[in-house]
Amino acid sequence: MSRYLLDKFLYDVDRDPELTEAYRADPAALVERWERERMRVLTGVPGDDTTWTRLTDEERGALVAHDYVAIQELGGHPFLTLTLFIALFERDHAEPLGFQREYARRLAHWSLPYPDIAT
């Protein structure tokens, strides 16, 4: 599992309006682009393909599917997940906090204490 890379993807995409819009429009292309252009710079191991230098298939699938529940269950930091998906989908809801309420409903099966989010 590559929690650091999962969190770094969420952080990078949330902090860059161009990446946010690219992720909304074509998540598979943006995930592939991010892995190709940014991930190897972060790991410092060009060409190496170990579990800490790449996203897992499960992580990649959750990112491509915009599946924020799965992303969080895979160890994605809740704050990073929430802020990115607000940027992606808040505009699709007519009422204020509409997306945040949906987010809370979809994660209602969690109870305290939350899973470890250390990277």
Looking at residue 97, its pLDDT comes to 92
Contact indicator for 83, 14 with CB cutoff of 8 Å: yes
| Interval 47-103: pLDDT, tens | 555 555 678 999 999 999 999 999 998 989 989 999 999 999 999 999 989 999 999
Find the angle CA(92)-CA(6)-CA(66) to the nearest 5 degrees: 25
Q: How many CB atoms lie within 10 A of CB 14?
A: 21
3-state class (DSSP) for residue 60: helix
Which residue type is seen at 14?
A: D
- Mean pLDDT, the chain, rounded, equals 86
> What is the distance between the alpha carbons of residues 63 and 58, in angstroms, rounded to a whole number?
9
pTM: 0.84
Looking at residue 43, its pLDDT comes to 66
Domain ranges of the chain: 3-106
Looking at residue 4, its pLDDT comes to 85
> CB neighbours of 42 closer than 8 A, spacing ≥ 6?
5, 8
Percent of the chain beyond pLDDT 90?
Answer: 59
